[in-house]
Amino acid sequence: FQPLMPDLHYYYIVELSFYWSLMFSQFIDVKRKDFGIMFTHHIVAVTLISFSYVTNLTRVGTLIFCLHDAADIFLEAAKMAYYCKCQKLSDLLFLTFAVVFIVSRLGIHPLWILNTTFFELYEALGNFPALWVFNVLLIVLQILHCFWSYLVIKTAYKAISKGKVGKDARSDVESSSDEEETVPRSKALHSTIATNGTSGANGTNGYLTGGTCSEEH
């Protein structure tokens, strides 16, 4: 029973567009072990956003947006630091992400958001069919939070015990940077030259092969 403000309207449009894009880009991205779970999450997210907008439950919707976006900021920053070879910064950002993720999605979301939608909203508006659909979708979202929290804690434990964040627990291969670090430099250079078949004086892409050979020997 509250008016929809223009800023909330555009906030919903941006979030809905974001999750629609994730749903489609998932098919052309690196396929991970939790592909089905991620796809389920995107469907639930799109349905919740659309459903809460139609029923004018936008206040609780925007709170859920904020909880999700707060943790994602640190996760994406940790990924960028990892790809830029800043291991220590990546570790720090990932551990920060883990703390924010656990607090927001296993603490604030069930104890604050779900408590409001299950009990306080029922007392204020009474029983109506849309409320049950909304709550069922929120329960599915919370189950996904528990599953991902397990993966986050598992990765954080490995990071603390080994001293650095390893590859993504959801995938057998995270990125080409892992492969580059495991291949010795001399063998990588030798393989590149042999593959291209350029044994001239200028070598591959203009690099001298003389320095490479002396480095190998």
pLDDT at res. 169:
56
Distance, in Å, from the CA atom of 174 to the CA atom of 179, rounded to the nearest integer, reads 9
Query: Over pLDDT 70: what percentage of the chain?
Result: 75
Amino acid at 34: D
pLDDT of 188 strictly over 70: no
pLDDT of 180 strictly over 90: no
pLDDT at res. 209:
41
Distance, in Å, from the CA atom of 47 to the CA atom of 68, rounded to the nearest integer, reads 16
Distance, in Å, from the CA atom of 95 to the CA atom of 90, rounded to the nearest integer, reads 9
pLDDT at res. 27:
83
pLDDT of 83 strictly over 90: yes
The per-residue b/e assignment along 54-87, b for 16 or more CB within 10 angstroms, e otherwise, is eeebbebbbebbebbebbeebbebbbebbeeeee
Show me where the domains of the chain are located: 6-166
Distance, in Å, from the CA atom of 118 to the CA atom of 132, rounded to the nearest integer, reads 9
CA-based nearest residue to 79, from 171, 188, 150, 185: 171
pLDDT of 167 strictly over 80: no
Distance, in Å, from the CA atom of 166 to the CA atom of 168, rounded to the nearest integer, reads 7
Distance, in Å, from the CA atom of 89 to the CA atom of 81, rounded to the nearest integer, reads 6
Distance, in Å, from the CA atom of 109 to the CA atom of 101, rounded to the nearest integer, reads 10
pLDDT of 14 strictly over 50: yes
